[in-house]
Structure 1
Amino acid sequence: MGDPHVLGEVVMRSLVLSLLLIAGLPGISSAGYREDFAREFMSKTWSGERIEENACIDCHASERMKPVFREIVDEWRKSWHAQNDITCHDCHGGDPKDPSLAMSHQQRGFIGVPPYAKIPDLCGRCHVGILRYFNESGHGKALRTSGKGPHCVVCHGSHNIQKANIEIISEQRCSKCHTYGRAQDMKQAMFLVEKKITEIEDGIKALRRAGIYPEEQEQAFFSTQAEFRTLFHTVDVNLVKERTGEYTRKLDDIEKGISGTFADLRSRKNFSGFLMLLVSGMGVVMLLLSKTPKE
């Protein structure tokens, strides 16, 4: 037999190398997947075209402008539109790449400030399903008959547009047009589904932090929450209550998928931990053997 000291040293080195590989492989795999996902999914915006030099923003943000116009850019930069590369020309027309045509009505279709009653049609160019529900709602009918009813900007704001959420329904906002009680009924009808939406969002964020991107669940979640929040624009409390069960079931299925991913992640961590303990134990044994005196 060979020298046990030499044998022990060789085995020990092999075990240490194996331990490093076991510890490193999950991180390497996650890092590679993270890069692929960021390149193929996260770097692609939902809608807008990324424009590096925007004449509209440059002009409005300049010191030549009055503070009220500079504030428009500040508000937009904090908006959900800005996060998704929806810029001035997507709503107002014009040409952001050419300062000389940025406000051209004839050549570039510049709109400027749209007429009050036309705002839903403007927003509806992108939010098609929402426009249909809005037109059929009490809000839409009031706007068509009086020209003064509430529309998108009244509830969502004009430039500092935030991601849709249940907190948009508030006494301060809704009581401008009617008593808050009616809006509060809608908020209560939406509460359970919105609570589940928040929980799933938190779960997806936790998985991302762990280097896992559940694309299938994310796509299903995005579609389901968009459908549910689109339904709100009917302003029909009874309809929302009727369909709450449908959306709850859809979200439950998504949540089960996310929970399964968490369980799989825990299993992998436990298995990796077991392997590391096993390898460490074997290393200790071999180290002790290597120190056994020669006979």
Structure 2
Amino acid sequence: MLSLLQPHRAQGAEPPETVCIQCHSGLPDKLGAPVNLWKTSIHAENGISCNSCHGGDPKNAADAMNRSLGFLGAPKEEQIPAFCGRCHVGVMKDYLASKHGKALGKGGPTCVTCHSNHHVLKASLDLINEKTCTQCHTFERAAAIKAAMQQTEGYIVGIDQRIAALQKVGVDTEEMGKSLFSIRNRFHTLFHDVDVQRVKTESTQINGDLAKISTQLTAIEDSRTKRKIAGGVAIFCVLLIAFLFHLMKKTYD
């Protein structure tokens, strides 16, 4: 079925006006609710429309729910990870390896428990919250995991911004960017881990790797600052010499 799904679009892309949206937008209650929920989702923000997940023909109302064209209805609870995992392969693997994933079909949480279904929420530490987590257990373990990851998340965001700033002024940051991308992926694997000690250990190791990139960035930033200061001094000296020459010329004149 995957080959029939629409490819992901760039962030901020306008999702196509499919027959699914055209039809369900005008329907009342639960038949129209999915469209309104989807409009405020991370999927809509990235141009991912109904057929991207559910298949079918998005341009022909008669075939919009044609199963021979790959249409899939709402998956059963135990099918949800595989349904979402067609696109989010790595995330599904991390989830299934966790205690949450091992409890699939036995009352454990699925993707929609935390991310919702049509109102799909962007992956972030905000999803680890007391309201969501206490649906199944106390918040104590989840709070410890979130606390261990918050510093690292802030560190990653800060370094990403510093790399972007240097890129704008023409500095070659390709290797640092690749390193950060790899580290960010390692960090994201922890989002579905419920082993507090492992999360703490991995977060500490990731922070160490981020510190190496930060040191490289600091060296570049300091070098650029020194060049700016040296350039400013040089310009000041040139202006001073020009001013003195002007005074001397007026004196002799």
- Distance across 1 between alignment mates of 2:57 and 2:175: 37
Equivalent residues in 2 for 1:2-41, closer than 5 Å: none
Alignment: residue pair count: 242
Structure 1 contact 174–180 (Cα < 8 Å) conserved: yes
- Distance across 1 between alignment mates of 2:239 and 2:121: 52
- Tell me, yes or no, if structure 1 residue 225 matches structure 2 residue 184: yes
* Sequence identity (%): 35
- Distance across 1 between alignment mates of 2:124 and 2:27: 33
- Tell me, yes or no, if structure 1 residue 117 matches structure 2 residue 78: yes
Deviation (angstroms), 1:68: 2.0
Instruction: Give the partner amino acid of 1:142.
Output: A
| Residue of 103, 106, 121 corresponding to 2:68 | 106
- Tell me, yes or no, if structure 1 residue 265 matches structure 2 residue 228: no
Query: Which piece of structure 1 moves more, 262-271 or 285-294?
Result: 285-294
- Go from structure 1 to structure 2 and tell me whether the alpha carbon gap of 1:244 and 1:53 turns closer, same or farther (over 3 Å shift): closer
- Distance across 1 between alignment mates of 2:165 and 2:241: 35
Deviation (angstroms), 1:244: 2.9
Structure with higher RCO (Cα < 8 A, 6+ apart): 1
- Tell me, yes or no, if structure 1 residue 280 matches structure 2 residue 251: no
Counterpart residue number, 1:250: 209
Counterpart residue number, 1:54: 17
- Distance across 2 between alignment mates of 1:128 and 1:174: 24
- Distance across 1 between alignment mates of 2:151 and 2:202: 12
Equivalent residues in 2 for 1:124-135, closer than 5 Å: 124-135=85-96
Larger radius of gyration: 1
Instruction: Give the partner amino acid of 1:93.
Output: G
- Tell me, yes or no, if structure 1 residue 153 matches structure 2 residue 106: no
- Go from structure 1 to structure 2 and tell me whether the alpha carbon gap of 1:97 and 1:200 turns closer, same or farther (over 3 Å shift): farther
SS of the aligned residue for 1:113 comes to: coil
Deviation (angstroms), 1:170: 0.8
Structure 2 contact 95–193 (Cα < 8 Å) conserved: yes
TM-score (norm 2): 0.78
Q: How much is the aligned-residue C-alpha RMSD, in angstroms?
A: 3.1
- Distance across 2 between alignment mates of 1:110 and 1:200: 42
Deviation (angstroms), 1:234: 2.9
- Distance across 2 between alignment mates of 1:100 and 1:272: 69
| Residue of 89, 92, 103 corresponding to 1:142 | 103
Counterpart residue number, 2:152: 193
Mark the runs of 5 or more structure 2 residues left unpaired by the alignment: 1-6
Deviation (angstroms), 1:242: 3.1
